[in-house]
C-alpha cells in the first residue's frame, strides 16, 4: 500500500505537520494528534512547496520514532538526528544546551529571537532544535553497525540479499574485533591510543601468521570507514582522526595463478572430468572458460539476460536485483565454444545457485581440489578468469577490447557505443576452446 502523504497546514501563519497518532502506536504515544512545526512562515512559502518537503521529512522522522518505541528501542539517537535536521532547515548549526552555555551569550539571544520570529517559543520540537535540548547520544561501538547501515541505506537497496549479508558480515567482524580489543567504548571517547592498540592487535596476528597483511588492512579499513561515514551523517563529534593512518606496509596482492591453456583443454574440459559436479555447477565452469566472467556475474544471470536466438548469441550482465562490482562491469558478452554450449544447456540460468555465489565457488573449488584439477593452491575457479584474459592478450587486442570483455575501467575516456557484438565475437572466437561432447 502506498505511503500516505500529509499536506502542510497553516496554523497562525506557520506551516505545520498535523496528523492523528495511528492506532497501532497509541499505546506508546498518548497524544491524540501530533502537531509539528516546519519553522517555515506561510508568507515566505505561500504555495507550501518548501513546507511540503519539510512535512515529508518530519513525518518520516515521526514514524521512525514510533517504530523504535513499538519495538523497544530507545529513540534518543533519532531524536537528536531530528533536532539537528530541524536546526539545519532554519539555517543553524546544531549545538547542545551545554555547548551553547559555554559560548557567547549573543548566540543564545540570537536563537531565542529566531524562535520568536517563527512562533516556536512554545513548540517543543523547535525548542529542542534551536536551543540544543536534545543531547548528543552516547553511541557505543556496539551501536556502530546499525548507525552505519542507516547511513548507507541508499546503497544497500541496490544489493541482493546475499550481497547485503556479506556486506554486513564483514562490517560486523571488524566491530567485533574492535570491541574485543577496546571494550564497548563510547564512540565519542575513542582516542589515538585506541587506534594504536587496534593496529598492534593486527600486527601481532600477522607476526603469528594468523592473518595476512592485506586482510588486516582491509579489516581496519572497514572499521575506519564506518567511523568516518557515521560521523559525516550524525555530526556527533566522533574523533575519526584517532584511527587515521593505521595502514600496515608490506602487504602483497595475492594473485591467483592462471591455468595453462593445455591444462584447461586437456584436463578440465576432458570427457567426464567434471561429472562429480551438479549440471549447473559444471556449466558455471564452462561459462568461465570462454567468457572470463566473474562467478557472481554468471550465477546471477536471469532468463531475460540470456539471448541464444540473437544473430550473435550473448548474455547481458546487468545490475538487476543486485549490485555489480563496478559500473564498468555492465556489458554484453558474446558466447562461443564452451560458453555457448553451457548456456544452451542452461537457457534459464542457474536458479539453484542464484544469489549463492559463495556456495557455488566453494563447491566447485572443493571438487577441483579433490579431482586434482588445481595444480597448485594458488589455482581456483577464479583462475579461469585470469586464463581467459591471458589467452585474449596473446592476440594483442586494443586495451579497450580487453577492458570490454573483462568489465574493467578503460585507460581513457570512452566515447560512442564502443565495439559491436559482431566485433567482439570476432576476437573471442579466435581463443575459444572445445567443450566436452557431454555437458
DSSP state of 376: S
Q: What is the pLDDT of residue 254?
A: 61
What distance in Å separates the CA atoms of residue 246 and residue 262, rounded to the nearest whole number? 44
What distance in Å separates the CA atoms of residue 120 and residue 115, rounded to the nearest whole number? 5
**Res 155 pLDDT > 90:** no
Confidence grade of residue 1 (pLDDT, cut at 50, 70, 90) = very low
Confidence grade of residue 384 (pLDDT, cut at 50, 70, 90) = very high
Work out the average pLDDT over 413-422: 69
Are 239 and 193 spatial neighbours (Cβ–Cβ below 8 Å)? no
Range of lowest pLDDT (18-22, 53-57, 123-127, 395-399): 123-127
Are 389 and 425 spatial neighbours (Cβ–Cβ below 8 Å)? no
Q: What is the pLDDT of residue 310?
A: 95
Residue matched to cell numbers 575519526: 240
Work out the average pLDDT over 166-173: 91
- Report which secondary-structure segment, H or E, holds 314: strand 314-317
**What backbone torsions phi and psi does residue 34 show, to the nearest 5 degrees?**
-105, 130
Range of lowest pLDDT (154-158, 189-193, 354-358): 154-158
pLDDT tens per residue, range 420-434:
899 999 999 999 999
Stronger pLDDT, 429 or 250, i.e. the higher one: 429
Work out the average pLDDT over 342-367: 93
Q: What is the pLDDT of residue 417?
A: 60
**Res 237 pLDDT > 90:** no
pLDDT tens per residue, range 257-279:
899 999 999 999 999 999 999 99
Distances from the Cα of 248 to the Cα of 169, 205, 217, 227, 324, angstroms? 23, 12, 6, 19, 29
What distance in Å separates the CA atoms of residue 256 and residue 196, rounded to the nearest whole number? 32
pLDDT tens per residue, range 275-307:
999 999 999 999 999 999 999 999 999 999 999
CB count within 10 Å of CB 429 equals: 13
Q: What is the pLDDT of residue 77?
A: 57
Positive or negative, the Cα torsion across 55, 56, 61, 67? Answer: positive
Q: What is the pLDDT of residue 323?
A: 78
**Res 39 pLDDT > 90:** no
Q: What is the pLDDT of residue 385?
A: 95
**Res 437 pLDDT > 70:** yes
Q: Could you give the angle at which helices 76-89 and 49-70 cross, rounded to 10 degrees?
A: 170
Are 243 and 195 spatial neighbours (Cβ–Cβ below 8 Å)? yes
Stronger pLDDT, 314 or 3, i.e. the higher one: 314
DSSP state of 272: T
Distances from the Cα of 305 to the Cα of 256, 348, 349, 350, angstroms? 29, 9, 9, 12
Q: What is the pLDDT of residue 229?
A: 93
Work out the average pLDDT over 94-123: 84
Confidence grade of residue 97 (pLDDT, cut at 50, 70, 90) = confident
Task: Output the nine-digit C-alpha cell for 236.
Answer: 556527533
pLDDT tens per residue, range 313-328:
999 999 887 878 777 7
Strand pairing report for 331-334 and 9-11: unpaired
Of 255, 285, 283, nearest in space to 351 by CA? 283
Average pLDDT taken over every residue of the chain: 87
Work out the average pLDDT over 380-407: 92
| 151, 155, 156, 158 alpha-carbon torsion, rounded to 10° | 160
What distance in Å separates the CA atoms of residue 40 and residue 56, rounded to the nearest whole number? 14
DSSP state of 353: G
Concatenated DSSP letters for 372-387? T--SSTT--TTHHHHH
Q: Exposed, middle or buried by CB within 10 Å (0-12, 13-18, 19+), for 381?
A: buried
Q: What is the pLDDT of residue 76?
A: 54
Rg (CA), the chain: 29
Confidence grade of residue 361 (pLDDT, cut at 50, 70, 90) = very high
SS3 (DSSP) at 158: coil
DSSP 3-state percent helix, strand, coil across the chain (nearest 5): 55, 5, 40
pLDDT tens per residue, range 369-378:
999 999 998 8
- Report which secondary-structure segment, H or E, holds 34: strand 33-41
CB count within 10 Å of CB 397 equals: 18
Query: Under 8 Å CB-to-CB from 356, ≥6 apart: which residues?
Result: 162, 299
Task: Output the nine-digit C-alpha cell for 64.
Answer: 521512525
Q: What is the percent of the chain where pLDDT is above 90?
A: 52
Q: What is the pLDDT of residue 93?
A: 82
Task: Output the nine-digit C-alpha cell for 303.
Answer: 532468463
Stronger pLDDT, 58 or 212, i.e. the higher one: 212
Note the helical H segments in 188-314: 192-207, 213-234, 261-263, 279-291, 295-299
Amino acid at each position: 500500500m502506498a505511503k500516505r502523504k500529509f499536506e502542510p497546514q497553516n496554523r497562525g501563519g506557520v506551516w505545520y505537520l498535523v496528523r492523528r497518532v495511528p492506532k497501532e502506536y497509541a499505546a506508546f504515544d498518548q497524544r491524540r494528534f501530533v502537531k509539528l512545526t516546519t519553522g517555515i512562515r506561510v508568507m515566505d512559502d505561500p504555495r507550501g512547496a518548501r513546507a511540503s518537503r519539510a512535512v515529508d521529512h518530519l513525518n518520516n522522522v515521526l514514524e521512525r520514532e514510533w517504530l523504535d518505541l513499538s519495538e523497544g528501542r530507545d529513540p534518543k539517537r533519532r531524536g537528536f538526528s531530528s533536532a539537528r535536521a530541524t536546526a539545519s532547515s532554519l539555517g543553524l548549526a546544531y549545538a547542545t544546551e551545554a555547548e551553547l552555555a559555554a559560548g557567547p551569550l549573543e548566540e543564545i539571544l540570537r536563537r531565542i529571537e529566531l524562535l520568536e520570529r517563527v512562533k516556536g517559543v512554545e513548540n517543543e520540537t523547535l525548542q529542542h532544535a534551536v536551543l540544543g535540548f536534545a543531547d548528543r547520544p552516547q553511541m557505543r561501538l556496539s551501536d556502530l553497525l546499525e548507525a552505519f547501515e542507516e547511513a548507507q541505506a541508499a546503497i544497500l537497496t541496490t544489493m541482493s540479499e546475499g550481497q547485503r549479508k556479506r556486506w554486513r558480515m564483514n562490517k560486523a567482524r571488524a566491530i567485533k574485533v574492535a570491541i574485543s580489543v577496546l571494550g564497548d567504548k563510547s564512540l565519542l571517547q575513542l582516542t589515538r591510543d585506541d587506534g594504536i592498540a587496534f593496529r598492534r592487535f593486527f600486527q601481532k596476528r600477522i607476526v603469528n601468521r594468523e592473518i595476512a597483511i592485506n586482510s588486516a588492512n582491509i579489516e581496519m579499513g572497514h572499521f575506519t570507514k564506518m567511523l568516518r561515514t557515521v560521523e559525516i551523517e550524525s555530526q556527533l563529534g566522533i574523533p575519526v582522526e584517532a584511527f587515521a593512518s593505521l595502514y600496515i606496509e608490506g602487504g602483497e596482492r595475492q594473485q591467483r595463478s592462471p591455468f595453462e591453456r593445455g591444462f584447461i583443454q586437456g584436463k578440465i574440459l576432458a570427457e567426464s572430468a567434471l561429472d562429480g559436479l551438479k549440471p549447473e555447477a559444471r556449466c558455471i565452469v564452462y561459462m568461465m572458460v570462454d567468457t572470463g566472467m566473474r562467478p557472481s556475474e554468471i550465477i546471477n544471470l536471469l532468463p531475460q539476460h540470456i539471448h541464444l536466438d540473437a544473430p550473435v548469441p550473448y548474455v547481458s550482465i546487468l545490475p538487476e536485483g543486485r549490485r555489480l562490482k563496478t559500473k564498468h562491469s555492465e556489458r554484453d558478452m558474446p558466447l562461443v565454444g564452451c560458453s555457448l554450449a553451457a548456456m544452451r544447456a542452461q537457457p534459464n540460468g542457474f536458479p539453484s545457485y542464484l544469489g549463492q555465489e559463495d556456495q557455488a565457488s566453494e563447491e566447485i573449488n572443493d571438487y577441483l581440489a579433490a579431482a586434482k584439477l588445481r595444480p597448485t593452491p594458488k589455482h581456483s575457479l577464479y583462475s579461469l578468469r585470469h586464463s581467459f584474459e591471458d589467452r585474449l592478450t596473446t592476440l594483442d587486442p586494443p586495451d579497450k577490447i580487453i577492458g570490454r570483455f573483462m568489465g574493467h575501467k578503460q585507460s581513457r575516456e570512452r566515447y560512442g557505443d564502443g565495439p559491436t557484438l559482431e566485433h567482439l565475437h570476432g576476437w573471442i572466437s579466435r581463443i575459444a576452446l572445445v567443450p566436452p561432447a557431454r555437458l
